[in-house]
Structure 1
């Protein structure tokens, strides 16, 4: 039987154990995926990140595998959440689902590690850990960078904001950042609480109208999005390639 005892976490994401951070991120992503899997898939919504079938590994186990075999840094794991928000803002039809999550995660970790870490793995290693071919990872990497327009930077303050919201909205409610830690860290209440208007836990299915911006269309839910400086790509009809891929995907899903 799972313990209901609350677990105190450090005020700063740099100090949290990577095992706890993985639990927090996986919980958020799995709730996001459960919501987005209910959104009907349309041909123009297909991307390079879509697989024919959902991988036979949970997001939690997938993240643990990546942490174990790539020694990824905590900031890079949190950057995955930032990149989800960035790409969802630019591509409103894109959703993180059971068909896209795993490829997105491994591409994000590979890109962020190479961009910001002194030590990182080769693409062949990331591909092997992620369970895809190196050719596929190279394609995903190029597509990822194209969509995000090479805007890989993110402030430490925003990563901290993601971390605090992960703790606050965890589905079990068992994680907490004690007030005494918040005070001793030198951060003000406004810095720790991030958004005083969101005092209750926020479900991922609620979307986000942060800073006065409307929720992402089609019911797709994001994490902590602020689209003030983003320019969504114009809506276009499905290409021949997307229509063919969509037909193949639907056929494979019907057979499974």
Structure 2
């Protein structure tokens, strides 16, 4: 039955494209989402195999942890560590800086904000840092998900023309981390659970996930090279800010 449903869905996607998702009845949304994630994972595995075949040292470069990777707390052992990985504070600092800059530009009429379903009616009580720490505490996702989620947020902002503000940053975070966890991790909590962690309803969580995926055109794959570059830049920003400086992230 599962195989039959999968074949029917993928035939629809092949003919009509990823936007077939929005025409499915609600009971099939979860199945459709799962199938799309699985397809992305298969693509990632195939691509990595091809890279390994082209370069004898590619596999070694994927498994050997760099100093930057370790510094951000992204090693596998950090997932069970009682402390908070450094990537949380660095990412929080970057997002807070972006929000302050964007809202200043909006007030000065130098930037126009695009209203989306990710905009809340009022600024959430939790700060960005506390919100990220809450997601880390209760989601049990791998630490690498926070880097991938940030990459997804940048893709979303570039594709939609939206600017990051205090009204949308929290919802974009919970949605991107949910999607990153489904893509990266073997086990992931349900949308309903993430909704409780993020302070939204399950219906809102489902709708935001769908809208986010459609905005990215379901392109969730992150190359090993891109992941490494973002990790290095996160480390650079963290190091500069420890010394009272600001370093702008380059976009890829």
What TM bracket, shorter-length normalisation? 0.5 to 0.7
The separation in 2 between residues aligned to 1:72 and 1:39, in whole angstroms, is 34
Match of 1:74 in 2: 143
Match of 1:21 in 2: 87
The separation in 2 between residues aligned to 1:32 and 1:108, in whole angstroms, is 17
Given candidates 85, 92, 98, the residue that maps to 1:32 is 98
In angstroms, what is the RMSD of aligned CA positions? 2.5
For structure 2, the 5+ residue unaligned runs are 1-65, 79-83
Contact kept? 1:85, 1:224, Cα under 8 Å: no
The separation in 2 between residues aligned to 1:48 and 1:149, in whole angstroms, is 17
The separation in 2 between residues aligned to 1:116 and 1:153, in whole angstroms, is 10
Given candidates 83, 94, 107, the residue that maps to 2:175 is 107
1:1-256 matched pairs, under 5 angstroms? 10-12=67-69, 14-15=74-75, 18-40=84-106, 45-92=114-161, 94-170=162-238, 172-173=241-242, 202-203=247-248, 223-226=249-252
The separation in 2 between residues aligned to 1:134 and 1:112, in whole angstroms, is 18
> Which structure features the higher share of helix residues?
2
Shift of 1:22: 0.4
Shift of 1:173: 2.4
SS in 2 for 1:37: helix
Shift of 1:174: 5.5
Shift of 1:44: 7.3
Q: With structure 1 as the length reference, what TM-score do the two structures score?
A: 0.62
For structure 1, the 5+ residue unaligned runs are 1-8, 176-199, 204-222, 227-256
Residue-pair matches, total = 174
Shift of 1:78: 0.3
Match of 1:181 in 2: none
The separation in 1 between residues aligned to 2:116 and 2:203, in whole angstroms, is 16
Shift of 1:47: 0.4
Higher relative contact order (CA 8 A, sep 6+): 1
1:120–1:173 CA distance, 2 compared to 1 (3 A): same
